[in-house]
Structure 1
Amino acid sequence: MNTARGARGARGTGTAAATAVVLATAGGLLTATTAPASAATTCASPVFTRQFFANTTFSGKPKKTDCDPAVDQNWSGAPATGLPKDNFGVRWSVTRDFGSGGPFTLSVWGLDGLRVYLDGSRKIDLWKNVSTTVSKSVNLTIPAGKHTLRVDHVNWTGTSKANFSYTPRTAATVDKVKPLVPGGTSVSYDKATGKAKLTWAKNREMDLAGYRIYRRFKGGTFPAKPLATATPTATSYTDTTLPKSGGTFYYEVRAYDKAGNTSGSSTDQGATTVDRLAPTVREVRVSGESSLSGVSLSWTSDEWVPDNSLLRSDSPTGPFTVIQSDLNNATTDETAPYGETSYYKVAVTDFAGNTGYSPVVSVTRPLAVPYLTTTENLPEDGGGVHLAWEVSPYAPKEFRVHREEYRVSKATGRDELVDSRVVPCAPKLTDTAYGTRHTYACTDTTVTSTWNGGFYKYWVTSVDARGRESEPSATHALSYRDRTAPPAVTGFTATATEYGTVLDWEDSPAADIAFYTVRRQTSKDDPIRDTWVGRTEPGTTRFVDTDNLQDGETHTYFVDAIDTSGNSVYSSFVDIFKMAHATVTEHDLRPTAETPPGTPVSAKATADPAAGTVRLDWDPYFARDGVDVTGYRVDRWNPVTTAYEPLTTDPVTDLTYRDTTATAGTTYFYRVTALRADGTESAPGEVWAAVAPQ
């Protein structure tokens, strides 16, 4: 906000000259002359009119009248010629327009007497002869419009001091008065430049912070955000942002003060513009190196236009030829030549007939990028991976099929690149059904199975007559497996032993064997009971079946080789006898003593061939009659004595027992019974374990 305290005029500490000095023109030069004493003094607001009196009652004619930009005085003698050094009076007055008015602070200090008036009403009274500086401030509200401030100062004796200010209070909590609506608004439009100038009369508020200018299109509303802001001293704004197309726009201006209060809107002022400028294209985007159809272009105009045309040349300076018209904002040039650089520009024509052109853009289309469409596994015709891709019929006819091979690393468990190459396959034209694209295909027969982990990645490029290679097509990743089963195993035998059935065979000659599987049937004529027994790794051609009780039954065993693609001779129960097989009758090692009926202890036996031991484990037995168990007895069948014999003298109190007297190469049978506190024992639980030699 402004204050009435401005730059000081000449101030004296002694007697001041009483003659007013003015500037006059003499022969083109500025010279100082003395104004006649009778000349009237006029001071432009907000400068104060100052009057000097040779008394303290302000009576009679002033000894001197001049202009003072601010009440800020300090005299130690007579302030003007003709005045005494004591008992004189000075009066300042100013009439100014306060605009919308509002809260102000009036402040005064000095020596001796001081009085402040607003429109003749006294607001501050410090009217006494003092020897020290006095001061006072008062807050009040000045109404809107013009008002007169007056300051009376008298000096009775000694030094004379007078200082006065009037300052708006700009705190938002204090000032709730809106500025006046700006008046005198008008707008003018310059057809040559397309600019509109808005003018208004300056507001009179001392706390004015500035102006906000708003613009709306005819039929629309003013936005919340202003178009622009202006300083408190501004009285005009030139709008250089009008759209280039014709239309009617309306403006308004609002004043705002330092407390954040905003005036109402000024009267709307309209300006009608004319369309005299050609439309422009802000951006042309072009792509063509990966398109089957041609060069794709799209663009954006500053405004909507009824017609867009595409022009092309083989030179950046032309001449350009219209190749497509009546477009929207995108098109594809299917006739763009391969191996050449094409230059394009877009012509846009508006409703007024104005035509503008975009900047020239270019695209080099040396080669067509193939579009890889299919990759298939072919189990027939030697296997391999079949690939097919599409290109323009005008594209080069030489292609390169690229392949990367990834395998699962045993160290990290992740897919790692192990090979990268160009596949030596000869592409053939297979389909010309589409006018803008032809299909080529080839088969990669150099692949190996990825059934145990890994995959292949393919992409295709084209090569022109100069050996330039295109960008790659999209990549396709796939796994591969062959469908050819390895031959049946030979030299297969099955031998019955006291610890199980020993199976032997010759190693398969196939190089991609992954493992062998062993199956068992209880009867050769009963394939429904075919059972998987186990597997061995490549190079291991012996398997011992220790999980089948040596009870004298006849079994048929089968062995099958599985390759790295999962192929094998065996595929169902129907062709199980395509595998190597042998029939064997087991030894019958079962105890001849019958096991008493009842509720036996639930036990299991586990052989440890390396240690030559058998570990027995059982669940805790609880007598159904409520009698506690004091221990367990472990018996082993002795085929020599044809009886179960105890392995320990004392009962076993744990739930496990290790038979360290078992030897490898036979099958052992055990019984475990629970001993009750009443001296009786439970029915036995019978288990067995085969201990094979190492």
Structure 2
Amino acid sequence: MNPARPTTAAVAGAVVLTTAAGLLAAANSASAATSCASPVYKRQFYANTTFSGTPKKTDCDAVVNQNWGTGAPTSGLPANNFGVRWTVTRDFGSGGPFALPVESRDGIRVYLDGVRKVDLWKNVSTTVKKTVNITIPKGKHTLRVDYVNWTGAANVKFAYTPRTSATVDKVKPLAPTATSVKYDKTTGKAKITWTKNKEMDLAGYRVYRRLKGTAYGTKPLATTTSTTYTDTALPKTGDVYYYEVRAYDKAGNASTGTADKPVTTVDTTAPAAPAGLTATRVTASVWLEWQPVEGAEWYRVQRAASAEGPFEAVSPGLTNASYRDTPSFDTTERWYYRVVAGDTAGNTSTPSAIADTGAPDVTPPAQVQGVSASGSTAGNNVRWTANTDDTEHYEVWKSVPGEAFPGPEIVFGDSWLDSTAPTDTTVEYRVYAVDAVGNTSPVSASVSALRLVPSSTPAPPSVETTPRDDGTGVGWTSPGEFTRGYYVYRRLDPNGAWTLLSDSLVTAYGFNDTTAPKGVAYYYVASVDYDWNVSVPSSTATADRLTPATATAPEAPVVWLEAPYTECTASDCVAHGGAGQDVEVRMMWNPDERGDIYGFQLHFSGPGGAGGYPKTTWGNYTWTPTVSGTYVVEVATIDVYGRVGPSTSLTFKVA
């Protein structure tokens, strides 16, 4: 006889008594008390084939695989007409396709949650085999195996195994649960843990990491069969990183990711050393610039008297990538600089490459040439020829008899209006050129000017400017008294000298400045009485020319028609509609970087002169022809000066 196979320690609670009554009582007690941890089966032996009454014995069995031959399976059971029942409840995770292979002599039935899935229930003389494929839903389910032996030899075998072919299994595993992460600030390592999945076909887990603000990549950080992973390569940059874990099965199906678990890393990474440092001498200082460094919160400039150092900090923490240093130096000194960058975590970069101010500049600019001065009622106008060397600015000195001048006038252009010069007094002027480090040129030739005493005749009360095609128009109103004429002055620098635009007197109430350049210009007008005395200046009028007076007319526009005129060549459109339908003309000027386009001028011509009058529009124009035939539309661009450019023609037919 082949006795029942010993299984787990749970069976140790079975007690065998010597009397029949004692045996029955012990069996009842053991059956009720036996508990088998999933996925171990609970096995019950019955002395009948109907599984009725109290089991003769209850124990635990790891697998259903028995061959009892012709003997009784356990003490107290007959050799024929007995039954054995196995029951297990377990968590199948996400479930999926399973195979149920059985072998039996005699009868076997398999149930899933009480629903019969396998039915081989007859007395047979040889072992019968069968495999049934089923789909088990996710979660916990109960499997029950009922086996009976009526006569003869007894053997039974049963298993449930996941089907892992990729063509069969399309069910994703469940995402891992209870994910957590611990970060060690000392080592910079992050340990991720999670709970083991319930899947029977689980192949392993994939761990992913991403930087905050980015997405997870397609390649995992690590693949493991364990339920823990330690990330030893986490950058120490102070950034936030996220982790997630995904389970994958033997068919290649992957679960969704777990909830993100963040880690804020310690920052031990210093910014890169600043690059591109330059040191340029300017007036009484050194101007330093460098390229911004990613991740840097501040910069500090260091200075030394030699390239070997020692370097000392000369600036506070700077937020901009530039600094003006004002050391106490003269033109014989040379300074060396470097810059370090730092972040909020206290990390400091290595120093930048050294930049120095170069050999001291002791060469002064050239003497200023072409100095002239002329008087007007607005003041004395001083002019000179601009230097082409390293001049940064000019100093204009003046000498007034009996007066002490407090200091030079600093001028950055090539002219200056001395509006404080006294009238009817000869004032002498000299000009110096000064470079960025303060070297001063030799003094220029001396020139003099006499500011005119203004007459009692009032200046024109109102002056206006109008940009035109051929110049800038300057117009004014009469001062209300008899005058011989007017002088018109212009300057391009709001602090520069005034230029008389015409040597001859202007006798009308307007003047066209045909030499007006592109950009801003300033004008004033003075009245001249019959004794040739000049009035005070009028108020200043400003003009902003978009194009110089010599500019060409605007280019021809691009023109096209909208539906129903949809089939068009460069100059011809065939109508799909007829008379009475709207024609929408669309226009666009060529992108010639001009800012002086005012609008468009359209001219339609058609049968019998239909539509033959010009139209001016700011944009697209819709027109409805009333007569069938062939039409021509000509469109030209108009600039703000009223100048009309060449036109673009488009022919279309109206049915």
TM-score by length of 2: 0.40
**Greater strand proportion:** 1
Larger radius of gyration: 1
